Structure 1
């Protein structure tokens, strides 16, 4: 856009712009050319040019030639007259697409602002509220507090906390209402470009949940609309991956440490979710009755359930408890974890570090932190996936259960899936634990048959080194 070098006083301004100009205001059709020819004000600080095409859309011309696009109108239902700044010509202020403001873009923005005014919304009031409104961090803390009050699982709390902090870090200490739909769309697109569609959708859901929590926390709510409503999420496509070659999978499992080997077999033969399987504690296991109580599964304490264990799983857990006492004796035992490991911090008893300095901090016992198995690829020298995560085993468990004729309702209960509103009849049925135990035994037998092996417990008294935590 050309600079302005011809200052004019108000009388000259009127002669240049014609009969619709008066004093320091003019009504013309705003175009790039008409603004280039617009004279600079001399005897006033600013001149106004209002558009003939969109009533309420205008440009403010300063003495230095800077043009600021604005929209002006009344807030419906309140009667107050307000003027809203759109942007400065030739600059990208406030835009996320890096395009500079011109007449066409400003006119479109003006239409949206005037539409908000007609709907009774004052964008300036929203801007004022943004200056001291609650931040994303405030909303996240309140939302997590509500999740704890609702007894949501720790894994759900950890997920939203870690993902929001990692992906929305620069927004954490800014007022949440400053996060616009265009900003969230850009974040969603960036994560998608990394090949992480599920994560991209989760980030949008996190923002929506935090916004709704803050919006419901006060009578007046938050100004503006939830930015998540402006983002088109990826359609849900169920992951169908299962273990196709169970004998090959079983052969790889046998190369793992005893604890991690048993964790893989336990997950396959129970169909439990990753976090619940890794965090099994002995006080929740009744080996005599063959039952496992899961106190805080996905969905929190209100979804707690008792899972019948197949015979092979019970035998494996008996041996696991005995062997844990041997492997983790130098660390005070397994600390109640069925599948323990050692933290990365601290020295392992018997290691070179511990041998050099017996006063060095000893590694602590924690549950297995990472269930996926990775090995270094000889061809590339990089770490590669050796065995899939436990959720793939969960899908395999349910697939085999279907193929051997376990009913949908029995599979539903064994997997602890929530009942949808379309499955009302299922909520009237309560299978006995004996019946479900029989189903679990049939599924376990089918899995071992397809692995081409027989269930076996670790050798009694086997000496081995405990595994380190993997993150």
Structure 2
């Protein structure tokens, strides 16, 4: 039976007849107030909707009482109260809480930073990346309710398009990943936030992996560029980045207590992913020679900062902070060298699984999860590391410039010549200073 509509009074309700099925008679004066007529009883009801920013967030229905136990006047008064509460965003029977959706983006970001990222030991660089997205790219949203973005996802779409044009597709996508993570975390303690993450409304920019790695035939030319640099400590940093394939952020923070030349490893306590991703880098012979040269140059150039750091610098933390170089001086650095390591490892015949272990990548497949990395570190992984280093060393030995060969300390080079070359370079730098 279709819903009926009339002005509800005690007399009009008393005349309503029971039917085979329940039906509603809605009050013509108070929207949302109606009586539900069943086979045995007539029940006063109220139904309302809560809307915000043109979006319906929820519909609520509440039982007011049975006809006969209360008058229509009394039921109408209770209906007004119930409908008023629903209009304010409170579901019937729910105790007053913090105003739904009142958490701001700033509060959500700070909780995510402190309760999630810091507690789980996330890398400081990762936290800084999120902070940049939240406090710079979304600065004008920080003090707005986070629920507003959930109700109006077109705001997120528009911001993504704006960032894509002004900051580039990669930064736009990265900032949206940060916003998505903050919103999902906030939902755990704020159930009034809409379940659908507003970031799901965007059309992601297509991203291409930067293919900037070098192959075996490219190493010789890069080494000439590296040798021509003025700062020998920065030379060793870039060279060691290529030898290890590690992320520059982790290498810059290597302390002497992390270096164990007897066991031929370097411990990385807080790589990308935090402390639980800590791992050891096995050292080949060329890598050890690079470390020794770095120690010597660090003591010469930055004696005050060289006590704790493998790659010291005249900076606030005392270690190398900025590793970028002018491309016309050094064409490959940073992540270029990490990609180069991956390419050279493949060329050296190192297996896919061993490359994952050496680069501290997550292991693919279920069976790989049963591999104990430490048991492979001492012998097998170090042998694979040596194979990669030897491929690089082969490019060194093919160089016609003997100074580069002496600098890298090939086993076939006279040590006295190597020391003479180092002394000459130090005297040249001292004169320039």
Normalized against structure 1, the TM-score is what?
0.63
Residue 302 of structure 1: which of 272, 276, 295 is its match? 276
Residue 277 of structure 1: which of 251, 255, 267 is its match? 251
CA contact (8 A) 1:335 1:365 kept: no
Counterparts of 1:123 and 1:417, CA distance in 2: 52
Residue 137 of structure 1: which of 97, 106, 116 is its match? 106
CA contact (8 A) 1:133 1:175 kept: yes
Q: Which runs of 5+ in 1 are unaligned?
A: 1-71, 87-112, 344-363, 376-383, 466-471
**Cα distance, 1:386–1:129 mapped onto 2, change above 3 Å:** farther
The Cα shift of 1:119 comes to 10
CA contact (8 A) 2:294 2:310 kept: yes
The Cα shift of 1:340 comes to 1.8
Bigger mean CA deviation after superposition, 333-342 or 280-289: 333-342
Which residue matches 2:368?
426
**Cα distance, 1:445–1:195 mapped onto 2, change above 3 Å:** farther
What is the SS of the residue equivalent to 2:281? strand
CA contact (8 A) 2:163 2:171 kept: yes
Which residue matches 2:336?
392
Which residue matches 2:147?
177
Is residue 199 of structure 2 the alignment partner of residue 228 of structure 1?
yes
**RMSD between aligned residues:** 3.1
Alignment of 1:4-403 (within 5 A): 79-81=47-49, 86=54, 113=55, 125=89, 133-145=102-114, 146-179=116-149, 180-194=152-166, 196-218=168-190, 220-223=191-194, 225-243=196-214, 245-256=218-229, 257-329=231-303, 332-343=304-315, 364=316, 366-374=318-326, 386-403=330-347
Which residue matches 1:408?
352
The Cα shift of 1:335 comes to 4.3
Q: Which runs of 5+ in 2 are unaligned?
A: 1-30, 34-44, 62-85, 91-96, 400-404, 410-417
What is the SS of the residue equivalent to 1:293? strand
**Cα distance, 1:419–1:130 mapped onto 2, change above 3 Å:** farther
Counterparts of 1:335 and 1:172, CA distance in 2: 42
Counterparts of 1:399 and 1:252, CA distance in 2: 20
What is the SS of the residue equivalent to 1:222? coil
CA contact (8 A) 1:153 1:300 kept: yes
The Cα shift of 1:225 comes to 3.6
The Cα shift of 1:210 comes to 0.7
Which structure carries more helix by proportion? 2
Counterparts of 2:47 and 2:120, CA distance in 1: 44
Counterparts of 1:318 and 1:208, CA distance in 2: 45
Bigger mean CA deviation after superposition, 294-303 or 431-440: 431-440
**Cα distance, 1:406–1:372 mapped onto 2, change above 3 Å:** same
What is the SS of the residue equivalent to 1:341? coil
**Cα distance, 1:233–1:83 mapped onto 2, change above 3 Å:** closer
CA contact (8 A) 1:295 1:305 kept: yes
Which residue matches 1:462?
426
Counterparts of 2:166 and 2:146, CA distance in 1: 25
Describe the superposition over 1:375-404 as per-residue Cα deviations: whole angstroms up to 9, x where unpaired.
6xxxxxxxx784334111011111111112
**Cα distance, 1:178–1:123 mapped onto 2, change above 3 Å:** farther
Counterparts of 1:425 and 1:336, CA distance in 2: 40
What is the SS of the residue equivalent to 1:459? helix
Is residue 385 of structure 2 the alignment partner of residue 440 of structure 1?
yes
Counterparts of 1:446 and 1:123, CA distance in 2: 72
